[in-house]
Structure formats: C-alpha cells, structure tokens
Chain A
C-alpha cells in the first residue's frame, strides 16, 4: 500500500513539470475582432508526425533535430485592421499563468513598435519551455513551446523553408 502511494506521488511529481510548461491560450472574443488569425496547436504526437515529413538535409534537418526535444508547440496570433482592438492586460494575464521556474530572458518595451516578452522555464542549465508574448499596436501574438529548446537555433530559422518572410511595419519584406 505504502509502495503504491509512493509510486503515485512520484508519478504526479514527474507529471507536474511537463504540465507546467504549457499554458492556457484562450482569448475569448478576440478572434471575432481580428482580420487575420494564426492558430497552431501541435501536441507531441503531431510533432513526431511532422518530423517524418521534414527533409533530412539542410535547414529542415536542423528543425527535425530541434523537434526531437519538443512535446508541444502552440501559437495564437491575431492581426487587426486598427489599433486598440485588444486589451493590453492580456500580456499580464498570460504571464500570470507562469510558475516560479519561469524567468524573463528578454523584455523589449516600445511605445510605437513591438513589445516582446520572452520567458523560459529554466531548470538547471536547460530550458524546458518557452513563452513569447508579442504585443504590437495591431497585432497580438503568443507562442508557447514545450520542451527543450535552443533559442539561438530558433532565431536562425526565420525566413527559411520556403515560407515567405514577414512583412515589416513599413510594408517592405525583410
């Protein structure tokens, strides 16, 4: 009996960190006001499936290697036609879900451009989860990556894989 209770306790203790890395990305009513929405929800099973369809050379190989340590990728991005369509307090609401193991890595604050908060679930020298909150006047984006992620590798991925680069604020492409 004691052994069963101990096993249950250990299982619960192991399950909590995995659960704690993912956050609730539910923003009621925001989709109705947005012009464009990006909604990506990929659990571990879908990530494993996606990895099978990545090429085994070049950049896609790097992504495939990166996916090996991930168990969840979630993106919610809302673009609006005019400013003030979303509550700025949503940034704090997302941040309030993060536990004590989450540390802010980079915080960029701007009155006119993009505010970016990057927070990581740091355990020892490993990053076990990442949350990126980007709040622009006409765009609100939250990215949650669950698992061991290399941030430098992630920053090198932009504009690759045949996906068109994002349009910058002045309308030109990077």
Chain B
C-alpha cells in the first residue's frame, strides 16, 4: 500500500514552476549567441585565407605575364636586329654578284 502511494506521488502530474518556459528559452538564446561569434570568426578567417591565396596567385600570374611579355619583346628585338644585319649582308653580296 505504501509502495502504491509512493508511486502515485512520484508520478503525479505537476505543473512546472512559474517562469520555467521563459528560462528555458533564455538559455537557448544564450547558447546561440555564445556560438555565433565562433562561426563568424571562422568565416572571416576563411575569407582572409582565400583572399591571401588568390592575391598571391594573381600577383604571381601578373609577374609571370610581365616577364613573359618582356622576354617576348626582347626575342623579337634581337631577331629583328640579327635579321637586319643578315639581310644587309645578303644584299651586299647580291649587289657585288650583279656587278660582276
């Protein structure tokens, strides 16, 4: 009998104390605000890393392009000078040949 009463007492429906729901909601809100800065900093760090990587890659590409275009101009200039000298010599040889 005593056990039955104990169980009834233990399992009886009880209303939560006043303000319980509000406190639960407040706690959830606190947890959320505590986690938000972490996510924000992660996003910032990822963006900065991505920007740095893309920036370095872009700078390298620009540098390589400049070097390549400079080399290309130098090649064209060198071959133009060489071509001019060879053509001059060929013309002189032809002139001498036609005078003979």
Give A residues with C-beta under 8 Å from B: 38, 40, 42, 46-47, 49-54, 63, 66-67, 73-75, 77, 106, 108, 110, 114, 116, 118, 130, 132, 134, 141, 143, 145, 151, 154-161, 163, 166
Contact = CB atoms under 8 A, between A and B. Distances in A.
Interface in B67-87: 67-69, 71-72, 74-87
B44 to A, nearest CB: 38
Contacts of A42: 71, 74-75, 78
B89 interface: yes
A95 B65 CA distance: 37
Given A47-B75, A118-B89, A132-B85, A158 B80 contact: yes
A161 B80 contact: yes
Q: Is the interface of B mostly helix, strand, loop or mixed?
A: helix
A75 B78 contact: yes
B74 to A, nearest CB: 5
Contacts of B67: 49
Nearest to A161: B76
Interface string B46-69: 000000000000000000110111
Contact of A159 (B68, B80, B92, B93): B80
B82 A143 contact: yes
A66 to B, nearest CB: 8
8 contacts: A42-B71, A49-B71, A54-B75, A73-B74, A108-B89, A110-B92, A151-B86, A159-B84
Contact of A108 (B64, B69, B82, B92): B92
Q: Is the interface of A mostly helix, strand, loop or mixed?
A: mixed
A63 B93 contact: no
A106 B90 contact: yes
Contacts of A163: 76-77, 80
Contacts of B78: 40, 42, 73-75, 143, 145
B66 to A, nearest CB: 10
Closest 10 CB pairs of A and B: A50-B71, A158-B83, A157-B83, A53-B72, A53-B68, A106-B89, A155-B86, A50-B75, A40-B78, A50-B72
Contacts of A67: 75
Given A38-B77, A154-B79, A158-B80, A53 B71 contact: yes
Contact of A132 (B77, B86, B90): B86
A49 B32 CA distance: 55
B76 A158 contact: no
